[in-house]
Amino acid sequence: MSDEERPDRRAIYVPEDVAAAAALPNDLDSAVSGPYSVPDTARRRRAGVVYLVGAAIIAVAIPFGLPTLMWATTVAVLVVIGAYHFAAGWSLRVRERRALEVANREAGFAVGHSSAALGFTGWRARPVWGVLVFSADDPPSHRALVRVDAIDGAVVESYAEEIPEA
């Protein structure tokens, strides 16, 4: 299949015969499943709401005959878990593309291939992009790892080096 016949030329394409020979599932072929975007970690707040609603329901039911100490403890635990979900529910203000741009500026060399992965740091699970970049020459002569804060776009830390010859 030529580039013109592909459904999305920006996606990674796996030919059908290669996928069948490797028993590759369709969800690994981005031309089949479409582009992927990391979901916003603010979704954690929805889980926090569920925990807090559960705590409220149990708290209301205690006067109607539930064992008080056991259920009061359950309410306390649910409130703590729900509060943590709210505290850790950061809104991603810096998405993949912006993190790659910040890493490109920080690297100090012309960037060719790059990859970004979302990680978390601290007890509140603050999101941080780990961006791996390689120089644009072939084969790449430099590589760098740049950690970009997903909330404010600041460079948390970076490390760059020459790639040793094999």
What pLDDT tens digit does each residue of the chain (166 aa) get? Answer: 444 554 555 555 667 676 666 666 666 655 565 566 778 888 999 999 999 999 888 888 888 877 778 888 888 999 999 999 999 999 889 998 899 999 999 988 888 888 889 999 999 999 999 999 998 888 888 999 999 999 999 999 999 888 887 5
pLDDT number for residue 1: 47
Contact at 8 Å (CB) between 34 and 10? no
State the greatest distance between any 2 C-alpha atoms of the chain, in Å, as a whole number: 74
Q: How far is the C-alpha of 142 from the C-alpha of 10, rounded, in Å?
A: 25
For CA atoms 151, 88, 47, 147, the dihedral sign is: positive
Burial 100-135 (b: 16+ CB within 10 A, else e): bebbbebbebebeebebebeeeeeebbbbbbbebbb
pTM, whole model, 2 decimals?
0.70
Four-way CATH pick for 96-162: 3.20.20.70, 3.40.630.30, 3.40.50.9100, 3.10.450.40: 3.10.450.40
